[in-house]
Structure 1
């Protein structure tokens, strides 16, 4: 039975909200949901869409000066800040066995350092409002999948950053992390184009469920440290945290099955994985 104290929520009406990656699949759906509920929402995005039901300001989260300016403009529009949702993120092919290059740096710059820059620019306003930060992390922050090392590393580091922030702002700003699995969105396009799709190892979940989880994290009267988005995700989170060796075996078995089925044939970045799997006794 659900504890009613844990399910109580703040009234979203009038809450001042800033969402990064606001023109993307999750950011847009979240902004629309909160706007309909009566919140004041402003978004940040590298390429603002022109048909949004809330204002979205252009912002490159890899540029400190641009972040400082865009956040200042957003806070002026909102008149303060009650909630920051760090949702901006990118993925892409990045096997762990290869020397890190531009793709790895891009993911770390956006997923980790972009989150850090935006949050730092918002800290004073959040402290003044006794607000909240929600990090849209990933299941891969706790359960790494192969061939996407940069994404998992960036999201795990994002959670480590959230943990430090939570301790430093304790008593003034709450910090929660949300752990979606995979949602159908353009974030997977580059991985699929490289022949490294992990669809057989990762199950897509409904967008509405992810938005529900973020809203729970954002509005719960008793903030939760970690929020999963599905029952399956909760089980995976538990196993990854408490039985990591078992989790490794499950993922390794799934990878072997995908490689044996030819899922990575012709993918240059997976050539090492395929060759090693074939040469195993």
Structure 2
């Protein structure tokens, strides 16, 4: 990545900084000479950078934490909106606490932090990188809240880009699935999407976020793999085709018994059994 800008002295704020992606990004950026501060609801003793405890769902706590971070950094050049949560949320069920949690953190948490950072980013002519998801464009079953929150996050990024584009660059990065604790609650509910997603290495996601942050020209959208680039293209230009691909894969997973013990999947399993009768 020799074409990237020098990160020495870059002032960086990372949300979700104590998680899998956040810690890896913090290490890479500090290794390149950047000054990094993180926000996280549960900082760890072994975090590679200073991390300020902050609940991104708290309207009052977020501006205060951002102000503390920028006070330590002396301003802000780069915001990486990385914080995010997942969990089981079938679309056919009424939204409950789990759905509200994902929307509040993934979408509104991103919005709260970004809004608090706008004056500093405009002053520095900085950048915002949104760690979105392949599911922002290609939905998977049983994860409606995550997909909806990430698609809305991209819509928010589009609006932010239009409003701040004279001074601030905004890039969305689209990882597929990376093995991390974000999948634990879905797996515990018997709704693991193993077999429906191809896992990719963490290093590829980190490299793509760095390209978004440090490229000389601001990029609008960046998939993290070649396969991801194809999926992004198909989902945007041939959505009916991607629907059929996902539906066939989903049906095959149901026939294999993958969701046989999952209470939340029972209606879908029953419908597929009836459709094949």
Q: TM-score, normalised by structure 2?
A: 0.98
Q: How does 1:1-281 map to 2 (within 5 A)?
A: 8-281=3-276
Q: Distance in 2 between matches of 1:237 and 1:94?
A: 23
Q: Distance in 1 between matches of 2:237 and 2:43?
A: 41
Q: Distance in 2 between matches of 1:53 and 1:117?
A: 24
Q: Distance in 2 between matches of 1:192 and 1:177?
A: 27
Q: Distance in 1 between matches of 2:17 and 2:223?
A: 21
Task: Report SS of the residue matched to 2:177.
Answer: coil
Deviation of 1:84 (Å): 0.1
Q: Distance in 1 between matches of 2:6 and 2:166?
A: 21
Q: TM-score, normalised by structure 1?
A: 0.97
CA displacement 1:17-38 (0-9 Å, x = unmatched) = 0000000000000000000110
Q: Distance in 2 between matches of 1:248 and 1:218?
A: 32
How many residues are aligned here? 276
Stretches (4+) displaced over 2 A? none
Deviation of 1:133 (Å): 0.2
Task: Report SS of the residue matched to 1:17.
Answer: strand
Deviation of 1:53 (Å): 2.2
- The alignment yields a C-alpha RMSD, in angstroms, of 0.9
Deviation of 1:134 (Å): 0.2
Task: Name stretches of at least 5 consecutive residues in structure 1 with no aligned partner.
Answer: none
CA displacement 1:211-253 (0-9 Å, x = unmatched) = 0000000011111100000011011011001100000000000
Q: Distance in 1 between matches of 2:86 and 2:144?
A: 10
Task: Name stretches of at least 5 consecutive residues in structure 2 with no aligned partner.
Answer: none
Q: Distance in 2 between matches of 1:176 and 1:16?
A: 17
Deviation of 1:262 (Å): 0.1
Deviation of 1:8 (Å): 2.9
